[in-house]
Amino acid sequence: QEQLVESGGGLVQAGGSLRLSCAASGRTFSRYAMAWFRQAPGKEREFVAAITWSFVNTYYSDSVKGRFTISRDNAKNTVDLQMNSLKPEDTAVYYCAAGDYDSGLYDYWGQGIQVTVSS
């Protein structure tokens, strides 16, 4: 079936880096915006980054701007999130999603992957 599956999470020390990858299957998402969200324990889900289908526009939350980079490879049907200079407050379950950035509606979601940053 149609799926988004995240990988690449884990435990890293503060200041370190991780690369998350989201692999899509079941359909081609080349015409969808792709995004990353995260949810920390006891907190609401928050937007992290998005990239439009055109590859031209990327968007980042203020908390990650300058540290995280979102990219996509339509040929491989994947979207990545390169996370540098990680902080303990980046600890969360990270979700990839596919949908429409302008409307804010995301139709497909991954299962989530844990990222833990130790101090």
DSSP assignment of 44-82 equals: --EEEEEE-TTSS-EEE-TTTTTTEEEEEETTTTEEEEE
Cβ atoms within 10 A of the Cβ of 106, count? 20
pLDDT, residue 55, reads: 65
The Cα 23–Cα 99 span in angstroms is: 15
pLDDT, residue 27, reads: 83
The Cα 54–Cα 7 span in angstroms is: 24
The Cα 113–Cα 33 span in angstroms is: 20
Per-residue pLDDT of the chain (119 residues), as tens digits, is 789 999 999 999 999 999 999 999 988 888 899 999 999 999 999 999 999 977 679 999 999 999 999 999 888 989 999 999 999 999 999 999 999 999 999 999 999 999 999 99
Element (H, E) at 83: strand 78-83
